[in-house]
Structures are given as C-alpha cells and as structure tokens.
Structure 1
C-alpha cells in the first residue's frame, strides 16, 4: 500500500497536479493493477488516503510544536501559528492535493473532509480544553471552539484575494492568533499580547 502512496506522491510532485492515471501509479510502484485494487477502490480513494496522511502528519507537527510550551495559552498560540504556516501557500510551491483535490472533496464529499481533519481537530480540542481548565479561555464546547479556530486559521491563510486593508498587506499569523483569542471584541487580545511578550 505504501508503495502506491509513495508513487502517487512522486507523480503529484513531478506533474504539479493530481491529473495522473491509476496505471501510471501502478507502473511506477512496480506492482500489479490487481494489487492496487486490493488496497483502493480507485484513484479517488488513493488521493483521499494521501490527503488523510498529509493532515495526520500536519496534526503531529502542530502537537509537537505546541508541546514546547508549558503554558496552555501559549500552546494554543503556537498551534494556531503552526497551522497558519502549514496552510499558507508558499510562493512557487504547488500543492495540488490541497488546492485542487481538497476543494473538489469539500464540494462533493464534505463528510470525507471532516473525517480527514479529525486528527487536527483532536489536537486543537485537547489544547483548548487545557486552556479552559487553566481558566485562560472560555470553557463550554471545546470541540466546537476548535473547529471554529481551525476554520478561521485555514481560511485566513488562503484568502489572498481579500485585501486586509486599503494597502492590501497580507494577514499575519500573529493577527490571526489575536483574532482567534479576542474575536471582534478584542477584549482578551491584550491578555494574549502580554502572555506572548
């Protein structure tokens, strides 16, 4: 199975697109077509496995980065900033698995997108629960709060077509963190600044 995943990933990197055939993956993996269909129903399932794997690795990196801090609020800040950097498009770097496939997946199979994001949602939920237990953020619905924070961070990292102000300066990870912390009221944001200083 891993050979098929590795071969598909290599093709994505080489072509800069998810536009490849199952036969190309099979040829590159040096395995049989029969073997491919023993593991995957088709190309969609192969791409979904790659997408889920990439999100799981991303969640592990967020957890690892956040673990460097003992303060729960600082762990949350690092988690937000790490996710922002992961989601932010790098100049000249194509990410067709996220830009092309994920968009199609979101439109046609939103339940699969939700399932793929569970590892990341779990990490953010745990960190928010810890911050709530310490009295640093409002408690209540940590999983729902985690989903809202993740959606805010990931959308903000991709929203280059929306000017942040009249000078069209791009939004920074620090601005996203301050917004997640204080929302539009801005009240807790001062506490977040002093904690990160």
Structure 2
C-alpha cells in the first residue's frame, strides 16, 4: 500500500503568503502603468502616445510592461474596461438609492445617457477615438468590456419584471437593446449638424419604457380593466 504524504501545513502557508505578495506587487505595477497612461491621455488629449512614454513615466522597465500587457492596444483596452466598470458602479450606487424597481431602471437609463454623451469641453479619447476603433476591429472585446453594464441592466429589468412593472422574458437581450439605444442616441444627439434641440435623458427613458412595456398608448394596467 502506497503511503500518501501530505504537504506540511507550514509549507502551504509559506507558498500562499509568497503568492499573495507576488500578486500584490503585480497589481501595483499594473496600476502604475495604467495611471501613467491615463496621465498622458489627459495631457495630450489623445491616445497618441508610445509604450516607451508610459514606461518612462511609470519609472518601470519595458520588460515589466510586456510581462503584463501584449502592447499598447491591451493597455488602452484595460483603461477602457476600467472606465466602463467605474461608470457601472456609479450607476449601481445611485440606482439602489431608489426602492422602486422602475425608478432604479430609470436612474440607470438616464445616467448611462449622460455618461455616454460627448462633451465638447471634456476630452474623452478613450470613448471618442479608441472605442470606435474597437467597435469596428474588435467587437468581441467591446462586448466583454460592457459586461458590467449589461449585467447591471439585466438585474434591474429582472427586478422590474418580478414586480410586475414590465413583461417577463429575454431579460439579457432586452437589457442589451436598451443599452444600445441609450448609448447610440447619446452619441448621435450631439453630432454637429444634428437636431437643433438635443434629445434629453427623459425622452430616452420614455422611449425605452415604451419598448420594454409595449406601446405607450396601451399601458399594462389596461389589461385588468373590464
């Protein structure tokens, strides 16, 4: 009979401690690269910078950079995902201040609209330039980056359905449609030569509400009317 020798507990603890320390150091290095890239974008007003500039500003090595990123594209993608994740967190916090599921959904729609609107006074190269390039060349990466928002909107629509405020079914698909409507409308409403009166977040909410509940002329409560 073969004896099974278990690894001593002290060895396991030592390895785990070493792994945690290495992970923390890696996270700190990655964050320094991200912060440096963000500073360069803010200064230049564009994503037109080199990897070497990021490395120099972060006071780290080129070798260290390529240990964590395949190149500039992956660095920009990380910044893009981080920005979307923070936006989703802001929406979640504001929406959950409301107890009513439909009010949460409304807050989410209106906040996403405002977050997505181009602001001529604020440079947003990650969204105005890089995001458009991503959409054309790397649609799968765009979908992955938007997962926190998609999960959040699915959650709110599911809650509204459970409360009987909207019909049930195809929650994730409807969440995707709402998000695309909100973000596309936000971008195009500010395009030069567009409408004289930009679309408001209230209008976007009413439009999305009609799509979720059916025709606005036939509210769901009418089904119980005899």
TM-score normalised per structure 2: 0.80
Is 1:104 paired with 2:130?
no
CA distance in 2, matches of 1:158, 1:175: 15
Equivalence for 1:116 = 145
Equivalence for 1:67 = 96
CA distance in 2, matches of 1:10, 1:163: 33
Q: Unpaired segments of 5 or more residues in structure 2?
A: 1-29, 222-226
Secondary structure of 2:168's counterpart equals: coil
Equivalence for 1:12 = 41
Equivalence for 1:36 = 65
Q: Unpaired segments of 5 or more residues in structure 1?
A: 192-197
Considering only aligned residues, what root-mean-square deviation do their CA atoms show, in Å? 1.7
Is 1:128 paired with 2:146?
no
Equivalence for 2:197 = 169
The Cα offsets for residues 101-136 of structure 1, whole Å up to 9 and x where unpaired, read as 000000000000000000000000000000000010
The Cα offsets for residues 25-81 of structure 1, whole Å up to 9 and x where unpaired, read as 000000000000000000000000000000100110111110010000000000001
Bigger CA radius of gyration:
2
Secondary structure of 1:97's counterpart equals: helix
TM-score normalised per structure 1: 0.91
CA distance in 1, matches of 2:125, 2:175: 26
CA distance in 2, matches of 1:186, 1:130: 20
- Alignment coverage as a number of residue pairs: 188
